[in-house]
Structure 1
Amino acid sequence: MADLCSVLPEIIFPAVNETLELALGSRVALNCTARWAAGGQCEPAPAWAKDGRWLGSESSQETVWSGHNASERLLGSLLQVNLSREADFGVYACWLGNATATFTLRRAEAAGHVGAVLAALAVLGLLALLAALYVKCRLSALLWYRNRYGELEVNDGKLYDAYVSHANAPDDKKFVHFIVKPQLENRHGYKLFLDDKTILPNSEPSADLIMNVSRCRRLIVVLSVAYLEQDWCNSSFREGLWRLLELSKRPIFIVFESQYRDIAHPAISLLKQHRNAVTLLVWRASSMTPSSDFWKELCLALPRKVTFRATVGDPQTQLQEDKDPMLILHSSYLETRGDPHPDGDLGLRGCLFRGLPPPRVREAPAAPGAGSLEDAQLRDGQRQEIDVSDLGSRNYGARTDFYCLVTEDDI
């Protein structure tokens, strides 16, 4: 028998260890196929084992058939496994003589939507956070970008940053002079031109208006109820708006929330229709705080402010706070200490404006009786002069202010 079956069977399926992930309660058929070259009565008997323990022969079905030639035989063994419990999972082995094929059955987790739901919630939370940050920090980010990379409006011949037009009413004056002006000028450094006169008395700009607005970079209109009661607002606000658009770049209109919803004037609807050409801001109760969105939107509508660093002035007047020492008779500014800077031209310099003291002249002693009289006359008539011994070496070419040193005696 050993001579007839000297050639060991070869398992052709599965070629390697096969791993299957199946759900609990499923049914699977494990197929083990082998071939061998045999003659006569040599036929291997397959056997199945699970986790090292043999299974009965009745658990599998065998099928034998011939190959391409008569000397080759094929054997297929089929094992039906019902995965009804956790113990049914494991490693199944098919033995054919000394050849072995293994099947590893693992339990697959039931497909659920928990992970997908959590991922979707995380994405929605992130989007909500980004939306909240956008709403909260949008204006601050725009201001930072504008102040850093925005267009500079300098050297344009303008004297003011904004022309503020308001009605000659007590509430409007208080709002402009005690809220708008201190906030924009003291906190943000803008320079305003305030005007409570009617800017378009006949729907046509006057010469004064054209001149004043041309000196300002922006136009701010406090559009209150008192302002809308003007004649040109009631009769021809549309034509007046076109005139203002010609005079100023994107004018700014400020309305009060307490009056905004009650105003039935067509000017409000007209401004809403032309939001791309004008800036419409609403003053609310929460706009009083300096960090409110109202001031951020207003600063965005105004030109970019440029902060210049302090430049070094004339070194000859720097210690005097830009005061000419020729007009200072007695001041501690002139009593300066030496400059021991190693990079200086003289190494150690003395006072900047004070020359050498005049030589003392020893006088003969006066008579005892006349000494007190002469001292009194000296005290009354002595004039304190300014030491001008070093004025010839000073450079006044960079100064823009000039003084005439003419005394009464010279006149």
Structure 2
Amino acid sequence: MADLCSVPPEILVPAANETLDLVLGSQVELNCTVRWAGTEHCQPIPAWSKDGQWLGNGSSQDTVWSGQNSSEQFLASVLQLNLTHDADFGVFACWISNATATFTLQQAEAAGHVPAVLAALLVLVILVLLAVLYIQCRLNALLWYRDRYGELEINDGKLYDAYISHATAPDDRKFVHFIMKPQLENRHGYKLFLDEQNILPNSEPSADLIMNVSRCRRLIVVLSVAYLEQDWCNSSFREGLWRLLELSRKPIFIVFESQYREITHPAITLLKQHQNTVTLLVWRASSMTPSSDFWKELCLALPRKVSFLGSVGDPQTQLQEDKDPMLILHSSYLSSGGDLDPDGDLGTGPCPCCFSRGDRCAL
């Protein structure tokens, strides 16, 4: 019996000395299981130490059982720890007879907020890039979609794409004739009807205005300081705006940056309040560039252009169902080329009765 009890126990768990990285506030169970050959009389007594200091009796829970072979005995000693302080970490040793198992508990670094902050910054950067991409490419995408899938305004009896109303001031004329007209006609292929007359004398549209606007698909008003000095802009702009809305769908008003920000004219205020029914564009210093947002927004407000061969003609002005001479570019009704004497009949034309001979009729 003494020989059996002198055999040292075999440590089953842990298989080797363990090192555990645990965070502050966690709970852990240290399991030390041994096997020995002998009877219960040879049962060893487990003991635990921390950093070389013995822990008191009762610090662990011990369980003993016999194996299938009655000559084998097992003992499991479990030490439960609550790691609430830095001092709770250290080197724990399980002593069973002359066998020892060691557990090294190290305090792991808390995950912290660094990954979360980095993830938030990454999301923020992505959102900023998407916002910048949207601002830079939004108008180009809208123009591409409009030019590819937009409504075609053809066979509508219109001769011009836009009717431009502006004041007679020199600056207004220069802006329309030397900036707007070359850009829209030469670069984008639009056909413009320019008018510097008062479009609403006595706050009512004139007959000429009604006829001219009916020939155009859009109405553009260059609302400069000189334009705002007209009577209808000062006294009854609201009523005049309703008249223009009756003549043209969603008219386009162009204002200049200085007056848009500084001038508190009732007309500017009213247009800001009704931007859902009108198109309000602001001319800025950067708008001179052909690729600026001003021209893109203006082209979006204008009808979609149709590509055509020069020999075929513009499908937006040709092949009209309406044969009214007022709505045809080259009307034979208005042309005098068919009559050799437009002021009167000189008898130089062939007589119907002489067509077969080609002779002239005698008077």
**Same fold by TM-score, threshold 0.5 exceeded?**
yes
| Alignment partners' CA distance in 1, 2:47 and 2:310 | 97
CA 1:312 to 1:266, structure 2 compared with 1: closer, same or farther past 3 Å?
Answer: closer
Name the counterpart of 2:330. Answer: none
State the distance in 2 between where 1:262 and 1:59 align.
Answer: 84
- Mapped to 2, the partners of 1:288 and 1:240 lie a distance apart of 30
Partner residue in 1 for 2:136: 136
How many residues of Structure 1 are paired with residues of Structure 2 in the alignment?
306
Q: Following TM superposition, by how much is the alpha carbon of 1:268 offset from its aligned partner in structure 2, in angstroms?
A: 1.1
User: Are the equivalent residues in 1 in contact too, given 2:220–2:252 (CA < 8 A)?
Assistant: yes
Structure 1 unpaired stretches of 5+:
314-405
SS at match of 1:202: helix
Residue 21 of structure 1 aligns to a residue in which SS?
A: strand
Residues 96, 309 of structure 1: CA spacing in aligned structure 2 closer, same or farther, 3 A cutoff? farther
Map 1:7-406 onto structure 2 (within 5 A): 20-23=20-23, 30-32=30-32, 39-44=39-44, 46=46, 58=54, 64=62, 75-76=76-77, 78=79, 105=105, 108-308=108-308
Q: 1:112 corresponds to which letter in structure 2?
A: G
Over the residues paired in the alignment, what is the CA RMSD in angstroms?
Answer: 4.6
Moved more, 138-147 or 237-246: 138-147
- Structure 2 residue matching 1:158: 3-state secondary structure: coil
For 1:148, the aligned partner's letter is: R
Give the gaps of 5 or more residues in structure 2: 314-349, 351-357
What is the identity, as a one-letter code, of the residue corresponding to 2:30?
L
Question: Match of 1:295, as an amino acid?
Answer: W
Contact 1:46/1:77 (<8 A) preserved = no
Q: CA deviation at 1:283?
A: 1.5
Report the counterpart of residue 343 of structure 2 in structure 1.
none
Alignment partners' CA distance in 2, 1:198 and 1:310 = 35
Q: Name which one, 1 or 2, has greater alpha-carbon Rg.
A: 1
Farther-moved stretch of structure 1 (236-245 vs 197-206) = 197-206
Contact 1:220–1:252 (CA under 8 A) maintained in structure 2: yes
Distance in 2 between residues matched to 1:286 and 1:186, nearest whole Å: 20
Residue 263 of structure 1 and its aligned partner are, at CA, apart by 3.4
- What TM-score do the two structures reach when normalised by structure 1? 0.60
Distance 1:104 1:268 in 2: 78
SS, match of residue 263 in structure 1: coil
Amino acid at match of 2:168: N
Instruction: Quote how far apart the aligned CAs of 1:36 are.
Output: 8.7
Range 244-253 or range 200-209, more displaced: 200-209
Flag the 1:229–1:148 CA change in 2: closer, same or farther, 3 A. Answer: same
Deviation per residue, 1:344-365 (Å, 9 max, x gap): xxxxxxxxxxxxxxxxxxxxxx
Tell me if structure 2 keeps the 8 A contact 1:20–1:103.
yes
Distance 1:179 1:105, change over 3 A: same
Percent of pairs with identical residues: 73
Q: Which has the higher contact order (CA 8 A, sep 6+)?
A: 2
TM-score in terms of structure 2 length: 0.67
CA displacement at 1:184 relative to structure 2: 0.3
Given that 1:64 and 1:73 are in contact with CA atoms closer than 8 Å, whether structure 2 keeps it comes out as no
Cα deviation for residue 185 of structure 1 reads 0.2
Instruction: Tell me how far apart the structure 2 counterparts of residues 239 and 278 of structure 1 sit (CA, whole Å).
Output: 14
